[in-house]
Every structure is written in structure tokens, then in C-alpha cells.
Structure 1
Amino acid sequence: MLNRGMKAGSVLVLSLTLLACAATPQKNDGNGGAYSALYDGESTAAFGTSFPAGSPAEAKARGDAAAKAGDWDRALFEYIRGLEMADEPSPEVLYRIGAIHDRRGNANLAEAAYRWALRVEPKEHSARIALGILRLRQRAYGDARQALETAVDEGARSWRAQNALGVLADLDSRFAAAKKHYEAALEINAGSAVILNNLGYSRYLAGDWSGARAALERALAADAEHQLAWRNLGLVHVRQGRYDEALAAFRHTQPSAEAYNDMGYVAMLDGDAEMAARLFDEAMRASPTFYETASENATRVRGRMDGGEDGRESAR
């Protein structure tokens, strides 16, 4: 369903003392200061010998250029150098520091920077939305919802916020609300494969097969390589009994043996034990190396056909 996954890079473990420093906005005293707590890159010695920035704005411009080039360590250095020069911390720069840490998988530092930005300027919507999405990934759903709803209520027009609110609504099985959020996201970012895939899976969860199929086909029209959309479309086809179409969709994401096995599992959940057993048999024929898993599933579904165990929890 969701494009939620993020591979973490090296994560800096922060002491409670360091977090406390990062949590209190203050001007740097020139001896390391609070802002240095937001740096996690390599040694700054080489950066320090470069031509010094003349102003916070110049440091920010250098940080922006480094970030655009993918030089995250240099970007962090320049942003922090600019903060150290300024009379007051810039919420925009703090947000950009958080975004770099978020991208690198440093969740603690990202959250500290986002929250610092919001203490400086509570209506720094970019930081609030990014914080909400970060908390969603961390499964802190209450915090995520509060952050995202606050941003939207205050007038932020963000497809990412609406998309994330749709995900949260789906997690609560509030499918009508989720649909509204995804549609609001599409009004901002029309034709987004990410949003359309999430809408399609949401309609699938709601049992709206035709609505799910329409959204997923639109997602694939926008991005023919969208793996989740192909998989979700395969699930919809199985639910509709369109097994040839399901197999073709699943084959975009996995080998035939796994596709047959997954189709069999969904058929079993739908109560079509006979079709499930046939699909598990196909999985065994498609790949000898997959024989054990498919054979176990086939045995269980046939046991169910004979009045044995349900098999829903243990299949796969």
C-alpha cells in the first residue's frame, strides 16, 4: 500500500544531555554551542579552512548549493555556521537541517531540528508536516495525526500532509475519510502514482474492487514501474476472480511461484478453497525450490476443505 519505507543510514545515538542542548533555542556562544549538537557528519576541519561566509544569508546559500549537490556534510556545516552567526535561529534553516537528517535516516536529530524550528516559529508548516510524517513512520500515530491536522487546519496546502492523513485514516479503518484525504492530495498533485496507489489500496481495504482497480490503473498509467501498484492490482484481480490478470500483475513484482502462492492465499481468505489448492499446486510446479512453502499451504487448505484447520494465520 504505502510508500512508507526508508532505509536508515548511520544513526547517531544521542545522550540525554545532548538532546537537552538541542531542545533549547539559544544563540551560539562561539565555543561549540547548541547548534553543534545538530551536526553528525565527518570532521569539519576541511570546511573550516574554506573562505568564511560573510553573513547568515551567505552561509544558507552555500548550504543550499551543497545540499543540491548531495554534499550533506558540507550542507549541515554551512547551515549550522549560519545559525551561529545569526542573532535569532532561522526556522527555515532548522527545517532544512532536519530534512537532511531525515533523508539520512537520523530520526533523533531530524525530530530535534523539526521541533526546534517549531518552537522558533509554530507556523513553520514544512517542519510540522515533516515531523508528522516522521512520527507516522515511527508508528507514533497520535503525534503524527496531531502534527498533520494542525498544519492543514492552519492553511498548509500539502499533498504530503493529505496523503499521510489518508494513511492514518486507513489504519483506523476510516475508509471514507481516507478517500477524502487522498482526493484532496490529488487536487494538489494530480496524477501522482504514490497517491493513486494509496487510494487504490484504501478502496481495496474498503471492499470497493472497481474503485480500487480504477485508481491502481491510473497509478500505473502515471508510473508503469510502480511495484506496489502492480502488486495491489494483482490483489484486486484475485478478489474479482480474474486469475490470469492477477498473475500478469504479480509477475511485475515477483517470480511466478511466489505469485501463485500469494494468489492462493488470497483465494483461501475469500473462501475459495478449491481454487486456492489449485494455485498452490501451480506454485509447486513453477519452482521446485518453492515446493516446501506451497506444499504446506496446499496441505492446509485441503485440510480446511475436509473440515480441518482454518489456516488463515499460519499459511505462508
Structure 2
Amino acid sequence: MRIDIKAATGLRTVWAVAALSLALSGCAATGGAPQEGDIYGSLNNGGSSVAYGTAFPVGSAEEAYRNGDAALRAGDADRALFEYLRGLRMERRPQADPLYRVGIIHHGRGNHELADTAYRWALDIDPRHPGAGTALGIILIQQRDYEQAEQFLAPIAARREAPWQAHNALGVIADIRTDHAAAQAHYARALETKPRIPLVLNNQGYSRYLAGDLPGARQALRQAVSANPDYDLAWRNLGLVHAREGDYETAIEAVARGGDRAKAYNDIGYISMLEGRYQDAMGFFDEAMRLSPAYYVTASENARSLDQLIRRQGASDIN
């Protein structure tokens, strides 16, 4: 999940879409259980069922589900999908948990409509299924349907053993609503369930940044990149905190972890502009243009927009 930072009109920056993260992503379709016919066939887009059925005979739905779990752990999504659907076909009535696992597979493969169908069908069978309810809530956040998402997520988060993803998702909703105290309470609960999750630490840090707690934001974001040194979003958010504090050298190094120093200079210039440090901002835009001809258009447009902003304000001393 990426949340827009409030941006000045006319400035172009990749940073304007950095911030919060969800554990799942996707867009939703509609409806629950499929209609008549081979109701499970509509959830299959994997490999040959004939080949799998011949090579791996099973005697029960439970055996099929075990095979599916083993295949999923081994990274064979086609085989796992076949086994879960085969097990479901052997049942007298649909079962929520294998349908939820089918949804997980489709989420991972980018089959968002099929994932949505599987999750909703699982909830038709078991309205209290925590995994399916959390996954569907996250999909609804992606659709910006925050009220309906909260209806799925809040009862799950209220349980004693709630999945951390539910609290993380509710924290994202709270931050979107600018209720940062509630958001941080949810992130804390998520970290109690499973400590040192980089995604949650990133969200906790960004929430603290939004609330004006820069030392707290820096602490959480450093924990996020310590837990996952390759977490580019957390590095960018950490750079944003350093830029807000005026520590531009450290900010540049954090944002440039991905290897694109021209982008880092442009983005830090953008943050400097938002802080009213116009002379610093212009210097960063100039450096972005110097470093990368490929980045010249973006940085030059930002510099031109900044010059117009200064002229409109009648600023003779731009710092």
C-alpha cells in the first residue's frame, strides 16, 4: 500500500507515493461462491489436472490438502492449487481453509479477481475465518473502501490471537484518517504478535513521522532496515526523516541505497522545498540534473516550478 504525501502543485517526484505498506496487495472483484457446474473449476488456472491426478493419487481430502501444503512450501504453486481444489471436490460441502489457501496462491500470482472470489467464498462458509477476513480487508483498503475494510478487520483484531496483518491493516486505515495515536497502537499490537517485522516497523516509523515524532520515527525506521537491509521503502522513509531534520548528507545516502543518486537528489530537493528551504532545494535539483541526463527532465521541471513559486511569493532572499 502506498499513501500520497501532500505535494506542492507542479512538482514531480517519486517520493509523493511512498509511505505505508500492507501485507497483501490487489484489487477486488465481486461475489462469493461460484454458481452451478464445476464450481471449483472456476478457481483453477494451474497446470494439467490429468497429469497431477495420474502422478499423485490420493485417498482422501485430507491427504490432498497435505500434498498441497507440501507443494506450496516447495514453491510449486500449480501443484498446490490442484491439490487444494482436488481436496475440495472430495468434500461433501465446501471448506473455508483450503479456499483461503487457494486465495493466497492467486494473490501471489496476481490473479486478483480469483483471489477475491476464493476469500469471499471462504467467508460465506466461515464468517469468522481470520485469514480470509484479513486478506479481504486488505483488498478493500486497496480499493479505498476503508469503512467496509474496517468492518472485516476490526472483529478479527479484537480477538486474543489476532493475526498481525489485521492490526497492521487497521493501522494503515487509522493513518489515512490522520488518527496517528490509534495507528501506532495497532502497529504496537502487531509487533507484540510478531516482533521485528520490517513492514510494520516501516509503518510505525512513518506514522510517528506524520505525528511529528522525528526521533521515534528514526528509531523505528532504523529497526526496519536493520531487520531487512534491502527494504528500499523503509530507507526512503528514513531519508525523509533525515531531510526533515536538515541532515541532508545522511538523507541522500539513505534514499540512494537503491543506486540512483540522481533520484535521491531530486527527492531530497522536493522535501527541502516543502520545508521552505528553497536555496537548498534548487541546489539538489541542479545536482540531480548534473548526475543523470536521463533524469534531467524531471529535475529541471521541479527546478522551474520552484523558481515560479519563489517569484509568486516575491522572495528576494529564498532562504
Superposition TM-score, scaled by structure 2 size? 0.84
Residue 42 (structure 1) aligned to one of 37, 43, 47 = 47
Question: Counterparts in 2 of 1:21-100, with a 5 A limit?
Answer: 22=34, 33-100=38-105
Cα separation, partners in 2 of 1:20 and 1:200, compared to 1, 3 Å:
closer
Q: Which residue of 1 aligns with 2:310?
A: 305
Stretch deviating more after TM superposition (160-169 or 139-148): 139-148
The count of residues paired between Structure 1 and Structure 2 equals 297
Residue 177 (structure 1) aligned to one of 171, 176, 182 = 182
Residue 217 (structure 1) aligned to one of 194, 218, 222 = 222
Render the CA deviation track for 1:123-151: whole Å, top value 9, x for unaligned. 22121112212222333322222111121
Q: Tell me the distance in 1 between the aligned counterparts of 2:47 and 2:189.
A: 42
Cα separation, partners in 2 of 1:20 and 1:303, compared to 1, 3 Å:
closer
Stretch deviating more after TM superposition (284-293 or 69-78): 284-293
Render the CA deviation track for 1:153-183: whole Å, top value 9, x for unaligned. 2444211111111111111111111111111
Question: Counterparts in 2 of 1:269-288, with a 5 A limit?
Answer: 269-288=274-293
Cα separation, partners in 2 of 1:233 and 1:256, compared to 1, 3 Å:
same
Bigger RCO of structures 1 and 2 (CA < 8 A, at least 6 apart) = 2
Q: Give the letter for the 1:305 counterpart.
A: I
Q: Which residue of 1 aligns with 2:238?
A: 233
Q: Give the letter for the 1:258 counterpart.
A: K
Cα separation, partners in 2 of 1:7 and 1:130, compared to 1, 3 Å:
closer
Q: Which residue of 2 aligns with 1:158?
A: 163
Q: Which residue of 1 aligns with 2:120?
A: 115
SS at the partner of 1:89? coil
Q: Tell me the distance in 1 between the aligned counterparts of 2:55 and 2:39.
A: 22
Q: Which residue of 2 aligns with 1:313?
A: none
RMSD (Å), alpha carbons: 2.6
Q: Tell me the distance in 2 between the aligned counterparts of 1:58 and 1:73.
A: 17
Cα separation, partners in 2 of 1:43 and 1:170, compared to 1, 3 Å:
same
Is the 8 Å Cα contact of residues 238 and 263 (structure 1) preserved in structure 2? yes
Is the 8 Å Cα contact of residues 178 and 202 (structure 1) preserved in structure 2? yes
Q: Tell me the distance in 1 between the aligned counterparts of 2:56 and 2:301.
A: 67
Q: Tell me the distance in 2 between the aligned counterparts of 1:260 and 1:4.
A: 27
SS at the partner of 1:52? coil
Q: Tell me the distance in 1 between the aligned counterparts of 2:209 and 2:244.
A: 9
Q: Which residue of 1 aligns with 2:297?
A: 292
Is the 8 Å Cα contact of residues 23 and 116 (structure 1) preserved in structure 2? no
Q: Look at both structures and tell me which one has the larger radius of gyration over its CA atoms.
A: 1
Q: Tell me the distance in 2 between the aligned counterparts of 1:51 and 1:180.
A: 48
Cα separation, partners in 2 of 1:299 and 1:79, compared to 1, 3 Å:
closer
SS at the partner of 1:176? helix
SS at the partner of 2:141? helix
Displacement after TM superposition at 1:303 (Å): 3.0
Is the 8 Å Cα contact of residues 23 and 112 (structure 1) preserved in structure 2? no
Q: Tell me the distance in 2 between the aligned counterparts of 1:106 and 1:249.
A: 34
Is the 8 Å Cα contact of residues 95 and 114 (structure 1) preserved in structure 2? yes
Q: Give the letter for the 1:293 counterpart.
A: T
Is the 8 Å Cα contact of residues 231 and 253 (structure 1) preserved in structure 2? no
Cα separation, partners in 2 of 1:40 and 1:297, compared to 1, 3 Å:
same
Render the CA deviation track for 1:77-123: whole Å, top value 9, x for unaligned. 22122112122222111111111111111122112211222222222
Q: Tell me the distance in 2 between the aligned counterparts of 1:252 and 1:109.
A: 36
Displacement after TM superposition at 1:40 (Å): 1.7
Q: Tell me the distance in 2 between the aligned counterparts of 1:140 and 1:106.
A: 20
**What percentage of aligned pairs have identical amino acids?**
47
